[in-house]
Amino acid sequence: MTGVHLLIAAVIIVFVIAFIITMLVLNANAKKIISTNAKLVENQNTLLEQSRMQCYELEKRMSELEEQSSKLEEQSSRLEAQKSELEEQKEMIEALQSQQEELTEQLRHTTIDEVTLLREQTRQHREHIELTADMTDEELMGWVDNKMDEMRLFTDPNLTMKKMAKSLGLTQKRLGGLFKAHSKYSSLGEYINEKRFLYACRLLREEPNWTIEAVGAEAGFGGRRTFQTEVKRRLGITPLQYRQSQS
């Protein structure tokens, strides 16, 4: 073998050895990179699991907070209802005290018979308050309607919500809320006028000797014209024509 051949063989051997060394180095680096990546993946999985646990804890905490918020809202609603009831009771007590003060003042200037009457009125007011305290709105509306007919409060031409509430032993707030929520009438005035109208029609039928003015006044209408206007609006005829039609 010549020197040239030996040189070529040596060069090839060197290249082979260099290639093998390079491959070994690359393989070692690859293993190192794979190991590093595996550790990174493991760390990412750990972080992901921790994030999941944190999300779960946050959701659990939010659920607890929502539940607590709901309970607080319920408590707040109950407190508002209790506050409203207390205010209503306070108004009723104040109204009763005011009535008692008025009655006490009246007692100073009244006779024995008048004293007896005032005491009876006071007793009735107290009975009204006790009777209506536990009624539902529907029951109370029926009771008010019956009392209006029984006591004929509508015959007062100057009847107001305040007067009506006082006569029935109720607060203005409760009576007003009752008519607003549980009455077919658009206003208290409409309700009172209907009561007056029905009573006036009854008087026109049952008291033929009464004048039209007397019937209107007895029913609580302020004057003949007001009475005639109301009857004409509802029936399309005058009070006199209605009386004649019923005879």
Answer with the residue of higher pLDDT: 209 or 53: 209
Number of Cβ atoms within 10 Å of the Cβ of 154: 21
* DSSP secondary structure letter of residue 171: -
Measure Cα distances from 167 to 127, 171, 195, 220, 230 in Å.
12, 10, 16, 16, 26
pTM given for the model? 0.52
Read off the pLDDT of residues 45-84 as tens digits, 9 standing for 90 and up.
Answer: 777 777 788 877 777 778 777 877 777 787 777 777 677 6
Mean pLDDT of 199-207: 94
Unique residue bearing structure tokens 């100057």 = 158
Read off the pLDDT of residues 111-135 as tens digits, 9 standing for 90 and up.
Answer: 555 556 555 555 555 555 555 666 7
In order, the DSSP letters of 50-84 are HHHHHHHHHHHHHHHHHHHHHHHHHHHHHHHHHHH
